[in-house]
Amino acid sequence: MILTELKIHNLRNISLAHLELNSRFNFISGANGSGKTSILEALYLLSCGHSFRSREISPLVTHGHASFTVFARAAQQETISIQKSSSQLTQIKLNNQFCSSTSQLAYALPCQIFYSDIFQIIYAGASIRRSVLDWGLFHVKHNYLALLKDYKRVLKHRNALLKKHAPYAHFIPWDKQLSELAEQLDYLRRDYFGLWEQEFTKVLSKLSNLSCSISYFKGWDKRNSGKTLTAILEENFESDNHKLYTQYGAHQADIVIESNESKAKQILSRGQQKIILMALKLAQGNLVEQDCLYLLDDLPAELDELHQQKVLSYLASRKGQYIITTNADIARLRSYCKNEPVQSYQISAGVAQVN
């Protein structure tokens, strides 16, 4: 879905904003604290139903107001809107019809965010990397979400039994279900990861001459002994019972990012890490059939001028709609976008004006 219009009402320091969006490149400039990132936040809310900065609602609402509203119109006249309040239920509409789940938003408006916390993919735990993997599978393998929900339901039951210190006999049927679902998840993940890995290598070669590899761990049998998850759960039952949670399974899957056989966080600069992580997420976008919305906060940060040029030149060569915030010289950045259509806004104290 390509957005053509965005309206924001009482989101953080933006009391009212109305932007006509370009179908390709949109640059938003302004001083720190002027509201640039809040515009990206508004767009992200339309895709995910929550902010990438906070899950709490009260910090998002302009001081002195009860709620905020974000509305967008697309090229084919489709509409998306969200209204959040600390005291009332969230209201989400897609084409003027109420949505019962945020997954409907995500399917309608696939969105990738490039924010300062992108480095957490490298530095944080496996759950962050797994969420990146899950984003791609959600958009490419449409039976994945239901399967993942079934797996989490069974895992929750198993962990509840562990907390009760139930005898092993009570775990046998749950372990069987968990193992079957884990194998199905692993099958989908392996198939998707193979495509993602190939695409990542291609994209990275366009952005840099860095050498980097990614690998997938399914969450059990790290030594590739051939043991089933059922057998591993049985072998580690006493340990699980002591720790009160399930240590092995699809919920422990991970993506390993390495450069020259060393962990990326150990040898690469922040700029190099950013290029790799951008390649990782852009490669995912290339595997999605729909046009994605890409939100890039402070694109030039950590990148030298050569890599800024390479990134923007690559973005210009692929499909998608880009909303980019920056404090850098917009004229220079626009020149890297080849002959693609560009719109630029200057924002000051929450008010956006065409530049």
Encode pLDDT of 223-261 as tens digits.
899 999 999 999 999 999 999 999 999 999 999 999 886
The parts of the chain modelled with pLDDT lower than 50 are none
Per-residue model confidence (pLDDT) at position 153: 98
CA distances from 270 to 122, 233, 260 (A): 11, 39, 16
Alpha-carbon radius of gyration of the chain: 22
Distance, CA of 256 to CA of 264 (rounded, Å): 9
Provide the residue type at 298 as one letter.
Answer: D
Q: 240, 169 in Cβ contact below 8 A? A: no
Distance, CA of 288 to CA of 269 (rounded, Å): 30
Q: What is the pLDDT of residues 154-188, one digit of tens each?
A: 999 999 999 999 999 999 999 999 999 999 999 99
Q: Comparing C-alpha atoms, which of 28, 253, 34 is closest to residue 137?
A: 253
Per-residue model confidence (pLDDT) at position 355: 64
State how beta strands 79-85 and 67-74 pair. Answer: antiparallel
Per-residue model confidence (pLDDT) at position 352: 65
Query: Residue 61 has which token pair?
Result: 């609402």
| DSSP bridge partners of 154 | none
Per-residue model confidence (pLDDT) at position 349: 67
Per-residue model confidence (pLDDT) at position 351: 66
How many separate helices (H) and strands (E) can be counted in the chain?
A: 12, 15
| DSSP bridge partners of 84 | 68
Q: 39, 19 in Cβ contact below 8 A? A: yes
Per-residue model confidence (pLDDT) at position 354: 63
